[in-house]
Structure 1
Amino acid sequence: MEFLLDPASFRALIFDCDGTLVETLPAHIAALQATLGPMGILPTAEWARTLYGTTPPQVLLAIEKTYGPIPVPHADVLKQWVMNYAKSLHLLQRIVSVCDVALHFQGKVPMAVASNNQRANIEATLRAVGMDGVFGWIVSGEDVAKGKPAPDLFLEAARRMQMEPQDCLVFEDSREGVEAAEAAGMRVIRIDASADRVPVASETR
């Protein structure tokens, strides 16, 4: 996948993280299974993919609806999820064409990451694929009242960059993310499943 962008058509770029900059689903599944497996709950990758683009608290509610009650507080599960995710970073895959866009425009226009995920997971992901320090701002699901498909994340990113929404171009992979960008009044490029992926474990940096 190659993107031909007209620099005159935008003043800032906003990137989703999971599924847009990095394929993270295998790492999240491993982390969730390590967290919930001892409780007898083993969400599958096929099931979890349907929730790509939702917030971590929403994922836990969906798990309870599908697999039954989680016997510990959700806040404890979220903390353990972060810890186990950090052990699964070797499963990440860079989505090269999107990362290349960010690297090309680094220092040229304001850029932010806006993701429903927990900040700790976003930061760990960017470090693991060598993209930490590329973006001036990170907005997580913990920073806003409502995650995607509400526009809050993208509007908050624009506010922090001191940009008008109509001047921002968004890269997104999920239906919820596309809806959120459009609701924010931003143009959006949707990343599909054919985007080129390179396993982090195979890279030399």
Structure 2
Amino acid sequence: MKRLAVLFVSLVFLFCLPANAQDEDIQSGGKGILNAIAFRPLTQEMPIAVRPLDNSDSNLLLQREFEKALRTNGYTVSDDAGLILTFEYRGEIGAWSTIGRRTILELEARGGREGGENAKAFINLYDSSRGGVLNKGRSGTSIITQSQYRLDASIDSKSNGKRLWQAWTIADLESHDGLSLTLAMVPVMVKSLGRTVKKQSFTMP
């Protein structure tokens, strides 16, 4: 047992030494991608009606956000307008990987009183995955594929059914929940009305 005590004291001493390098968490704002296609001219003088595909609470919130963004950008919103903006959103769940917890000291004892003469202690100095005395390792849950949300919208003519414009945005689900992430993408999308945009990146608020 004296041998175990010496090993334990040595472990505590090593563990308390200041490390030369620290693992830092790098945080950045969420990023998104916008794509849009203009098939026909679309001007601010053309009133637009916003219609969700269903009357769920989340879609009604998105409808109001679209109407607000349209008015902010100079468009007229009217229920009986000749142009209809429809939208839908969906999420894609990402993938995660879990690595075991950090292990510093491993004990092994077989038979005898207080572990007997077969008692052994192992100090894990370094493990790139699980960590040890000299490093933290990568224990915990790591993200392999980030969860994403996608918002699609299109504007069609009520009289002839022809499409004037369509767009879609995709953003990673980081500090937002799915609905708030989608709501934040609406103003970005509305700013591109009437234009063709290819893989334009934007930063989430």
TM class by smaller structure: under 0.3
Higher strand share: 2
Q: TM-score, normalised by structure 2?
A: 0.23
For the pair shown, the structure with the greater C-alpha radius of gyration is 2
More helix by share: 1
